[in-house]
Amino acid sequence: MEVFKSLSEVKKEKNTVLTMGTFDGIHLGHRRIIESVKKHSAALNARNFLITFDPHPRSVISGSNDVKLLNTLQEKIDILEEIGIQNLLIINFTKEFSMLDSEKFFKNYIIDKIGLSEIVVGYDHHFGKGRGGDENTLRELGEEYDFKVFSVDAVNINGTNVSSTKIRNAILKGDVNLAGLFLGRYYSFSGTVIRGDGRGRLLGFPTANILPNDETKLLPAIGIYAVETVIDGKKHFGVMSIGKRPTFYNDGQLTTEVYIFDFNNDIYCKKVTVNVIERIRGEEKYSSAEELVAQMEKDKQAGMEIFNRQVNKVFN
């Protein structure tokens, strides 16, 4: 996949099938759009092309750093390459860029610099200043600049249209099952294993403390989860705690640590990816270390049961 971070790097080519959007999460709705782009480009023997934005437009327009992402930029690049996008333009989204009206953006960026014969968008696509451009705008531009417009219906699961907002809300509630259903894969995050205080080892549950790679990445709600940790390309099942460890601390510091079943390797400073499979329970404060250990044993058993269900799904 060719990744462009400037329009000056892009060669203009009329024979192009294009889509554009934030694509946070690259969920099943996004994938339907991308599959349509690939289908249309293959039929025309054209290049496929995707435009996205970084940072997230909402964070720039609101002026807030509180917008948490379903995908980091690198995750987005990796997924788009994996599912068959050939050309990716990442536009630096600034306040100045956000003031471009829809028609000026489309002409200056796409018509004049990229070229296209067809564009594929989602059913509720909006673009340009104040989200003023929509499918009707594109059809009018298509008449003027000779390109076709195709709109893709939403993906509906159990009566709900899949969207990044709904996935984000599910993750904030700890409902990683619903998030995974809408994403078409487990929700995941990556980070580096760092040294903790060693308390887990003293309790008989040595954990890998994980520092997430990107502070803008959305983490699931505080609680205990069954997870799959990918280390050096190999998957290991275990239980993750995201929380403030109230049994021992009251500093309010949030930590992310994973107890990996039947694993005792030294992985300090390793880069790992955590696939979050299912929430087991919320975080609780216990009256003693012994009470906490008893609960951790129950969590381990619950995690093993979830793991066994996953294995049975694969082989049955």
Residue 268's closest CA among 197, 209, 199, 188? Answer: 209
Strand partners, 276: 187, 227
Helix residue ranges per DSSP H, the chain: 28-44, 57-62, 73-82, 95-98, 102-105, 135-145, 164-172, 176-183, 199-202, 289-315
pLDDT of residue 314: 52
**How does pLDDT run across 135-175, given as a tens digit for each residue?**
999 999 999 999 999 999 999 999 999 999 999 999 999 99
DSSP character for 67?
Answer: P
As a whole number of angstroms, the distance between CA 115 and CA 309 comes to 49
Residue limits of CATH 3.40.50.620 in the chain: 13-160
The token duo for 12 is 């203009």
Phi, psi of 85 (to 5 degrees): -75, 135
H and E: helices and strands count for the chain? 10, 14
**How does pLDDT run across 230-288, given as a tens digit for each residue?**
999 999 999 999 998 877 777 778 999 999 999 989 999 999 999 999 999 999 988 88
Rg, Å, the chain Cα set? 22
The token duo for 178 is 């619903």
The overall pTM is greater than 0.85: yes
186-315 belongs to which CATH class?
A: mainly beta
Give the count of beta carbons closer than 10 Å to the beta carbon of residue 287. 8
Single-letter amino acid, residue 216:
T
SS3 of residue 77 by DSSP = helix
Share of the chain above pLDDT 70, in %: 98
Residue limits of CATH 2.40.30.30 in the chain: 186-315
269 class by beta-carbon count within 10 Å (0-12 exposed, 13-18 middle, 19+ buried): exposed
CB 264 within 8 A of CB 258: no
Select 13-160's CATH number: 3.40.50.700, 3.40.50.620, 3.40.50.300, 3.40.710.10: 3.40.50.620
The packing angle between helices 164-172 and 176-183, to 10°, is 160
CB 47 within 8 A of CB 87: yes
pLDDT band for position 316 (cuts 50, 70, 90): very low
